[in-house]
Amino acid sequence: MLVVLLGYMGSGKSTVGKLLGERLNLPFTDLDEYIESEVGTAIPEIFREKGELFFRKKEHELLVDLLASGQPRVLSLGGGTPAYAGNMDRVLKATPNSFYLQHTIPSLVGRLTSEKAQRPLIAHLPDSELPEFIGKHLFDRGPYYLQASHILPSSGKTVEELVDEIEGKLV
């Protein structure tokens, strides 16, 4: 069984994925962490040293490899992964178990404000600009996120509630 979690940064993909993997007795893979381990460099450094194009190519290559491996797992994607290089089409062909952890903009702002320093994409933004920044990304990425097999409204739900919902929808 392959379960793929997608959604905006801060939506809980990694946290939900780890617990879901434990419950299903499946290995959990965070695509961003996998990229870092394969390249040997942290993602902010990859962006700085090699650029976004290099990162997106590597992200696509490693995603294709993971999907083609046929190994059962819970896989969380990076927030932008579905929007590039036909990645979402590949996910949909690989599994009927893709889940979009959908949060409202206010929910994401609340979740990300305290994590800004650890998030290079938003670390430089004043708090007042965060809602517009997130809103623009959701507008751009929404058409990809909404292709997921299952859309889970996630604002205000606990990790356990989300994992329970996912387990109840697995094919």
Q: What DSSP letter does each residue of 34-91 carry, written as one string? A: HHHHHHTS-HHHHHHHHHHHHHHHHHHHHHHHHHHT---EEEEPPTTGGGSTTHHHHH
Residue 87 and residue 60: Cα distance in Å, rounded?
Answer: 7
Residue 39: closest CA among 58, 24, 26, 25: 58
Q: What dotted CATH number matches 2-169?
A: 3.40.50.300
Q: What is the pLDDT of residues 94-115, one digit of tens each?
A: 999 999 999 999 999 999 998 8
What kind and span of H or E run contains 112? helix 105-113
Q: What is the pLDDT of residue 123?
A: 84
Q: What is the pLDDT of residue 171?
A: 87
Residue 61 and residue 39: Cα distance in Å, rounded?
Answer: 12
Average of per-residue pLDDT values in the chain: 95
Residue 161 has pLDDT above 90, yes or no: yes
3-state secondary structure of 101: strand
Q: What is the pLDDT of residue 125?
A: 92
**Domain residue ranges of the chain, discontinuous segments joined by +:** 2-169
Q: What is the pLDDT of residue 117?
A: 79
Q: What is the pLDDT of residue 167?
A: 98
Q: What is the pLDDT of residues 7-57, one digit of tens each?
A: 999 999 999 999 999 999 999 999 999 999 999 999 888 988 998 899 999
Residue 120 has pLDDT above 90, yes or no: no
Residue 69 amino acid letter: S
Residue 71: closest CA among 95, 104, 107: 95
